[in-house]
Amino acid sequence: MSAPPRSSDRGRWHIERFAELDSTNRYVLDAARDGAADGLVAVADVQTAGRGRLDRTWEASAGSSLLVSVLVRAPAAPTRVVMAAGVALVRAVADAADVAAVLKWPNDVVVGERKLAGVLAEADGEAVVVGAGCNVNWAEFPPELVATATACNLEAGRPVDRDALLDAYLDELARALASGDALIADYRTHLATVGRRVRVQQVRGPDLVGVAIGVTDDGALVVRDDHDVEHTVTTADVVHLRAP
Ligand code: BTN
């Protein structure tokens, strides 16, 4: 049987810390279906089946990363919760690790073009579970990540305290969720994709190449392709390209 979590409270959040879980998103989603209250947070030192966007896995060795999921029972659209998580992560790595990061649409936290953190939201009715995985203290990356990933310790030049990062993230997330109409403006401020030449790898449909020209209030990316046709994209991966 797995060890019971250590519990604590911080503002609106009730935090359960686990040594190991299959997936903090899976845990919080199941808890939501069983009636858990808004504000439940699960944190794990390691996940055995971490979930990434677009049905990928999320890998992180024990203790290397902040692996956290929160339950928001929101009348607001899930996309607002996802935007809030992205904004909160960018602010939290600045607050707790002095790392200057930006967002790559929709919610990758990047330094330069290297990925520092990712966000995965899953919803069940009005319950939104937003999970974040942030590379905190990595000695080295596996070969498949070495060219594309970074970590807080590598950017800061010092080890970074995961608990301090968690506290900063939860404080910033509470603030972002309460920020009303300012949230979309804050999201746009941190988003580095608009104005960039991009390749959009769509889940359904061909790749698009063009310039990202905006983000709708619902968080969709607007891209003008090289034939001057505008596309509004809701689910895709984006690659920032160099200007031709
Ligand atoms: C992405 O693909 O960029 C999103 C990755 C999200 C990973 C986090 S780790 C904590 C939470 N639990 C999961 O199983 N996934 C998210």
pLDDT in tens, 11-32: 999 999 999 999 999 999 999 9
Distance, CA of 59 to CA of 4 (rounded, Å): 23
Beta-bridged to residue 238, according to DSSP, are: 200
Show Cβ contacts of residue 6 under 8 Å, excluding neighbours closer than 6 positions: 16, 17
Q: How many domains are contained in the chain? A: 2
- Does any domain span residue 162? yes
Ligand 1 site-directed mutation target among 20, 25, 54, 71, most atoms within 8 Å of CB:
25
Residue 180 and residue 228 in one domain: no
pLDDT at 185: 97
pLDDT at 129: 97
- Does any domain span residue 167? yes
pLDDT at 78: 85
Rounded distance from Cα 59 to ligand 1 centre (Å): 9
Pocket of ligand 1 (CB under 6 A): 23-25, 47, 50-53, 56, 58, 67-69, 108, 118-120, 131-133
CATH number, domain containing residue 102? 3.30.930.10
Neighbours of 111 (CB within 10 A): 18
pLDDT at 204: 84
Residue 183 and residue 225 in one domain: no
CATH number, domain containing residue 211? 2.30.30.100
Rounded distance from Cα 46 to ligand 1 centre (Å): 12
Residue 74 and residue 121 in one domain: yes
- Does any domain span residue 140? yes
Whether the predicted pLDDT of 55 surpasses 90: no
Residue 115 and residue 80 in one domain: yes
Residue 85 — very low, low, confident or very high, per pLDDT cuts 50/70/90?
Answer: very high
- Does any domain span residue 1? no
Whether the predicted pLDDT of 207 surpasses 80: yes
Query: Which of 166, 190, 214 is the endpoint of a domain?
Result: 190
Positive or negative: CA dihedral 49, 154, 162, 98 = negative
- Does any domain span residue 31? yes
Residue 175 and residue 225 in one domain: no
Rounded distance from Cα 227 to ligand 1 centre (Å): 35
* Average pLDDT value for the chain: 95
Secondary structure tally for the chain: helices H, strands E: 5, 13
Residue 23 and residue 98 in one domain: yes
Ligand 1 site-directed mutation target among 46, 58, 105, 150, most atoms within 8 Å of CB:
58
| Atom of ligand 1 minimally distant from the CA of 118 | 3
- Does any domain span residue 26? yes
Whether the predicted pLDDT of 240 surpasses 90: yes
Residue 111 and residue 206 in one domain: no
Residue 222 and residue 131 in one domain: no
pTM beyond cutoff 0.85: yes
Residue 55 and residue 143 in one domain: yes
- Phi and psi at 213, nearest 5°, equal -110, -5
Neighbours of 192 (CB within 10 A): 17
Write out pLDDT tens, residues 87-123: 999 999 999 999 999 999 999 999 999 999 999 999 9
Residue 110 and residue 217 in one domain: no
| Domain span holding position 142 | 6-190
CA-wise closest residue to 163 among 49, 6, 30, 28: 6
- Does any domain span residue 104? yes
Distance, CA of 36 to CA of 11 (rounded, Å): 17
| DSSP letter assigned to residue 106 | T
Query: Which of 152, 167, 190 is the endpoint of a domain?
Result: 190
- Does any domain span residue 230? yes
Residue 225 and residue 166 in one domain: no
Residue 207 and residue 91 in one domain: no
| Atom of ligand 1 minimally distant from the CA of 53 | 2
